Structure 1
Amino acid sequence: MAMGGILKADDVKKVLEAFAVADSFDHKKFFDMVGLKAKSPDDVKKVFTVLDADNSGFIEEEELKFVLKGFAKDGRDLTDKETKAFLKAADKDGDGKIGVEEFIALVKE
């Protein structure tokens, strides 16, 4: 499943341009600009399942690197610094990965 049924293509394009430069990614701005913050928890769960590439029920650090590609194929990879900051912000239970409830909470911050 792609993000097309959940998010507007124009919004996705805008955020990819806004965060095109390495070390510019800010998850709060990203979720707000892409329109995900205003979506229902069910829609946020759908996005989570797209980002959970290995279907483990968690988004691990390796999958976080490719979060922008989850929104559009031409998105860049996150840097290690961005990935670690993103994981730290979301991983409330300290298990080194992001569960669906943690992801929803992060998006709604």
Structure 2
Amino acid sequence: MAMNSILNTDDIKKALDAFQAVDSFDPKRFFEMVGLKAKSAEDVKKAFHILDADSSDCITSTLQTDNLDLSDKETKAFLQAADKDGDGKIGAEEFAALVCE
């Protein structure tokens, strides 16, 4: 499954470009801008599994998939915002909580 089956590719690009222009990344705002925040819990779960590229049931240090290629700085901001238990990984529940905040 591809991310563009859940989110609009142009919306993803525009959001990433907006954050790169200000050299800052806000994961909560990003999810709002691309429309993931307004999606169903099932779509949020699908997005998590797409980002979980190695099927380890967690997202770690790389966030690169079709049409979504976060820089190291953006990935670090995402991990810091979502990793509530401090284990260096984002589980499905942490991801869903961040998206819905």
Alignment TM-score, normalising by the size of structure 1 = 0.79
Give me the whole-angstrom Cα distance separating, in 1, the residues matched to 2:38 and 2:99: 9
Deviation at 1:15, TM superposition (A): 0.9
Q: How many residues align?
A: 101
- Measure how far apart 1:76 and its partner are: 4.7
Taking the aligned partners of 1:11 and 1:48, their CA distance within structure 2 comes to: 18
Identity of aligned residues (%): 61
Listed one character per residue, the Cα deviations across residues 30-85 of structure 1 (whole Å, up to 9, x for unaligned) are 0000000001111011111111111100001x22xx3xx43516x45232xx4333
Any conservation in 2 of the 1:20–1:76 contact (CA below 8 Å)? Answer: no
TM-score normalized by the length of structure 2: 0.85
Match of 2:59 in 1: 59
Distance 1:25 1:93 in 2: 21
CA offsets per residue over residues 7-29 of structure 1, 9 Å max, x none?
A: 12221121122123484211011
Per the alignment, do residues 96 and 76 of structure 1 end up closer, same or farther by CA in structure 2, a change over 3 Å counting? closer
Judge conservation of contact 2:26–2:77 (CA < 8 Å) in 1: no
The RMSD of aligned alpha carbons is: 2.0
Q: Is 1:78 matched with 2:38? A: no
Conservation of the 8 A alpha-carbon contact between 2:27 and 2:77: no
Secondary structure (helix, strand or coil) at the match of 1:98 reads coil
